[in-house]
Chains A and B, each alone.
Chain A
Amino acid sequence: MQALLEIKNLKTRFHTDEGVVKAVNGVSYALQPGEILGVVGESGCGKSVHALSVMRLIPTPPGEIAEGEIIFEGRDLLTLSKDGMRQIRGRDIAMVFQDPMTSLNPVYTVGFQIIEALTLHLGLDHNQARKRAAELLSMVGIPQAEKRLDDYPHQFSGGMRQRAMIAMALSCAPKLLIADEPTTALDVTIQAQIVDLVKSLQKEFGMAVMWITHDLGVVAELAQMINVMYAGYIVERGNVREIYYQTRHPYTIGLLGSLPRLDEAPGARLYSIPGLPPDLITLPDGCPFAARCPYKVEQCTTDMPPLQPADSPNHLVACWRWKDILEERAQ
């Protein structure tokens, strides 16, 4: 099966007064059609930047995609013209952003904004587009969709705005939906609604979804594959069960340990990863996690470990010592 999206050795940089920010440092992976991929990491790990690179939405300057290939359905997006990219954006790849308060334009009605996307990409006439827009809104669970088309964004609640954004993203039946922290600004009960919505829409449309989040809880129930990112690298990649139950990278181990569990015993302490993520301008040689890693050895500070198969061919980990750690933890 041909991958829908294949990223090869992607490197994205930002040139600032203080120096070159190495935001993405050689990310490679493939996304199959219809797959839900969770991209997990803390702020500054490059998860959003790598998605924006796929969309070619990196502001240049100061940003720059320094190296790599992004192959979408056999075409390298990085070599496409601006017009060619514009056609892919919105039609083949759609994106939903974090802040539903600012991603809709407050001076136009919600309906106008969806209809505009429909007429632009699908060439529908106004009446057809309006009908389709109402269908989309009711599909994402907005009651009285026909009426609410004429509402302005401020008349929608945060959750409804995010639904409207999803409706707009889905308007052209994209093959890939990139959701960049779409529920971070929302409350848990609303987040649950959105997660459910995306799950059912994915079943219905069969598109691939890239769900970017800092929350290991959300992707646990949503994603099939998970990339864990740290300092611009993928440090661990595998399917959901491998990531949560056969965790291999010390960063993922620490991250999971630092989450409180609803079902934990009283009096338990959280495991906290000491220190801070490294500065992306002065990235150390070797493994970026070494400074915070309790298992580090000499080699970790000098050479960056490659992302290589751990126990199964599809479970990849970038750590020199994952086997030792496994043994140590078993004791």
Chain B
Amino acid sequence: MSHNDRVLVEVRNLKKYFPIQRGIILQRQVGSVKAVDDVSFNIIKGETLGLVGETGCGKTTVGRTILRLYEPTSGSIIFDGVDLASLEDKELRRMRRRMQMIFQDPYASLNPRMTVGSIIASPLEVHHFASGKKKRERVQELLQMVGLNPEFVNRYPHEFSGGQRQRIGIARALALNPDLIICDEPISSLDVSIQAQIVNLLEELQEQLGLTYLFIAHDLSMVRHISDRMAVMYLGKIVELADRDEIYLQPLHPYTQALMSAVPLPDPDASKRRERIILEGDIPSPANPPPGCNFHTRCRYAEEICISEDPEFREIKAGHFVACHFAERFQIQ
């Protein structure tokens, strides 16, 4: 990952551990949940980087730590040349203009006591972006951009359906003309036919406004659909990162292979044809991850070395990064 000026965000050795505390009066730390454990990747200007993984793999934590909604335990997040991890409150607040987030739950991400207009105007007010008539115009413009009637400014979130609320959330994220939008499972709580509407809207907005997305989701086929490159996470680590087609045609990490084969296909013949890799067992607890390669407990290729040594996350070929001892072997096959 050579550094060049096309890179918008550079994440280096990012770690986020959540302390596990016991005791009420005298709290002491008895361990930590390694939600994100040494993750490095770049996001290039104008691209969509997909981040897939199962529940508890730390993908949401990565998104929130990049925005400094969580304090990183260590590592750096370089956003357009500035290390966010070391910024003070005031400067951080200024940087927030340039990066926004779309949330998973459209029912919980909008304050039920505020009107749609004041929800969308909030970022404009905080950053003194616009006021008075200009503010009202901007809010209406944003509503129009996300496909809602601009006359709805005085309505409350509960008057809208899930998909419409998600559009309101998108309008709020767009209000300040950000460069980066982190989409944290923006469609997973929506109905199938509404999912497509939202994904299409996100794609259109990206084309119009030149946005950069970090698209976090558990739905592999949707992530592949919207992303240019995608990263697969397992238990706090990125196990594979490559171009969307590369990762589909030649997945090199056994976990990616299994994940790919488990995705249900809306095509009876194709799903009969393909080979299914059924992973045994459950995901280990991130408070106590297995030694060595943390996937070895469920991996069908696991050998001695996987238990003793943590595989390096390395570039196997141009732009294709894998963390597996045997990646080269899979590549030849």
Contact = CB atoms under 8 A, between A and B. Distances in A.
Physical contact A–B (CB less than 8 Å): yes
Interface of A: 42-43, 157-160, 187-193, 195-196, 214-218, 220-221, 240-241, 244, 254-264, 266, 268-274, 276-277
Contacts of B1: none
A270 to B, nearest CB: 4
A214 B282 contact: no
A19 B160 CA distance: 19
B267 interface: yes
A103 B283 CA distance: 22
Contacts of B203: 269
A214 B199 CA distance: 18
B55 interface: yes
B69 interface: no
Contacts, number: 129
A187 B54 contact: yes
Interface stretch (B24-32, B218-226, B312-320): B218-226
A218 B264 contact: yes
Interface of B: 54-55, 161, 163-164, 191-197, 199-200, 203, 218, 220-222, 224-226, 244-245, 248, 258-272, 276, 278-279, 282-283
A188 B267 contact: no
Given A262-B260, A263-B270, A270 B54 contact: no
24 contacts: A160-B282, A187-B54, A187-B55, A187-B283, A188-B259, A190-B54, A191-B264, A192-B278, A217-B271, A218-B264, A241-B268, A241-B269, A258-B196, A259-B192, A259-B196, A260-B225, A261-B267, A262-B221, A262-B248, A262-B260, A262-B263, A271-B196, A272-B197, A273-B193
A255 B221 contact: no
A260 B267 CA distance: 12
Contact of A276 (B163, B199, B262): B163
A290 to B, nearest CB: 15
Given A191-B264, A215-B264, A262-B224, 4 more contacts: A187-B54, A188-B263, A188-B264, A270-B225
A161 to B, nearest CB: 11
Contacts of B245: 266
B268 A255 contact: no
A241 B270 CA distance: 11
User: Main SS of the interface on chain B?
Assistant: helix
Contacts of B164: 276
Given A258-B196, A271-B196, A221 B265 contact: yes
A196 B280 CA distance: 12
Contacts of A268: 225
Given A43-B191, A192-B278, A255-B193, A262 B200 contact: no
Contacts of B244: 266
Contacts of A241: 268-269
Contacts of A260: 199, 221-222, 224-226
Contacts of B200: 269-270, 272
B196 A270 contact: yes
A323 to B, nearest CB: 24
Given A189-B259, A241-B268, A42 B193 contact: yes
B192 A216 contact: yes
Contact of A216 (B195, B220, B261, B266): B266
B227 to A, nearest CB: 10
Most chain A CB inside 10 Å of its own CB: which residue of B161, B200, B267:
B267
Nearest to A214: B192
A192 B262 contact: yes
A259 B200 CA distance: 12
A240 B268 contact: yes
A220 B268 contact: yes
Given A196-B278, A217-B264, A221-B265, A258 B54 contact: no
A160 B282 CA distance: 9
A262 B218 contact: no
B271 A220 contact: yes
A276 B148 CA distance: 13
Nearest to B262: A192
Contacts of B265: 217, 220-221, 261-262
B73 to A, nearest CB: 25
B106 to A, nearest CB: 13
Given A187-B218, A270-B199, A221 B272 contact: yes
Contacts of B270: 263
Given A187-B54, A188-B259, A157 B192 contact: no
Contact of A256 (B266, B269, B283): B266
A258 B194 CA distance: 9
B217 to A, nearest CB: 11
Contacts of A271: 196
Contacts of B161: 276
A266 B267 CA distance: 19
A42 B192 CA distance: 7
Nearest to B281: A143
Given A192-B262, A196-B278, A262-B221, A221 B54 contact: no
A131 to B, nearest CB: 25
Nearest to B227: A266
Contacts of B221: 259-262
A286 to B, nearest CB: 20
Lowest 3 CB-CB distances: which A-B pairs, in order?
A217-B264, A258-B196, A260-B225
A2 B81 CA distance: 72
B279 to A, nearest CB: 5
Contacts of A273: 193, 196-197
